[in-house]
Structures are given as C-alpha cells and as structure tokens.
C-alpha cells in the first residue's frame, strides 16, 4: 500500500472515530512524509491536544516543529518528551541545537552533559 492509499484509509477511519489521537498522529506522520508540513502540523497538534502525554505524539509533533524552525514550540514539546524518554539521544541532540539557536548556551551545554551521561561518559 502506498502512502496515499494509507492516508486515505486513515482519513476514512478518522471519520468513524474522530477522537482517536493515534489516528491523528499517524495521519500527521503520513502528511509529513509527503512534505505537506502545514497539514501535518494541524493533525499532530490535534493529536497532542487529545493526548498530551503520548510519547509518540510528543516526538512526532516536536520533530515537525523543529524542522519548521518553530524552535520555542519545539523546545516546549521536546521537554515534555524528555520527561517520558530521558535517554533519547536523538531528541537530546535536537535540544542542544534548539537551545543553541535560541542563544541559550548554558542549557545547550547542560543537554550535552545529559548526552554524555546517557552514553556512559563516552564521547
């Protein structure tokens, strides 16, 4: 099944179950994959509002905001994600970049230390 068929199937499912945060999340991811970032944001934002503690939703929504350079918003979402997955080095690295781009070098350094700790002190 290609992305468009999968997307159509998920949209049909959403009509039946409009409060399913996982469907919103999955649709948002599919839209992201076809580079429809504005619509992807709309669906991921809805998934986040329906289920603000879901780690998959937090990751996907944060990643989209990061790639759209909505850095303050990405920081907020990634901070919530890190509370659920404190050793996710990929997200910690993105947090370093976010803090650096926001000129918060102290927090960027703190995130680098977290990465170092996650790796067991190895550089």
SS3 of residue 64 by DSSP: helix
19 is in which domain, residue-wise? 3-118
123 in a structural domain? no
Angle between helices 55-67 and 89-101 (to 10 degrees): 40
Number of structural domains found in the chain: 1
Q: Specify if 35 maps to a domain.
A: yes
What CATH number is attached to the domain comprising 94? 1.25.40.10
Task: Average the pLDDT over 99-123 and give the result.
Answer: 88
In a domain, 75, yes or no: yes
Q: What does the pLDDT look like over 49-107, one tens digit per residue?
A: 999 999 999 999 999 999 999 999 999 999 999 999 999 999 999 999 999 999 999 99
How many Å apart are CA 115 and CA 20, to the nearest integer? 34
Residue 52 phi, psi dihedral angles, 5° rounding = -70, -5
Residue with the two structure tokens 């469907």: 23
């Amino acid at each position: 099944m290609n992305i468009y068929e999968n997307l159509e199937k998920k949209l049909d499912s959403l009509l039946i179950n409009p409060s399913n945060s996982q469907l919103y999340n999955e649709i948002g991811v599919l839209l992201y994959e076809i580079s429809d970032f504005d619509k992807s944001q709309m669906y991921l934002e809805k998934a986040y509002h329906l289920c603000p503690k879901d780690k998959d939703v937090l990751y996907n929504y944060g990643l989209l905001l990061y790639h759209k350079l909505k850095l303050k918003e990405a920081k907020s979402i990634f901070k919530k994600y890190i509370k659920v997955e404190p050793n996710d080095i990929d997200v910690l690295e993105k947090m370093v970049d976010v803090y650096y781009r926001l000129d918060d070098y102290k927090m960027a350094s703190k995130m680098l230390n977290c990465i170092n700790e996650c790796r067991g002190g190895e550089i």
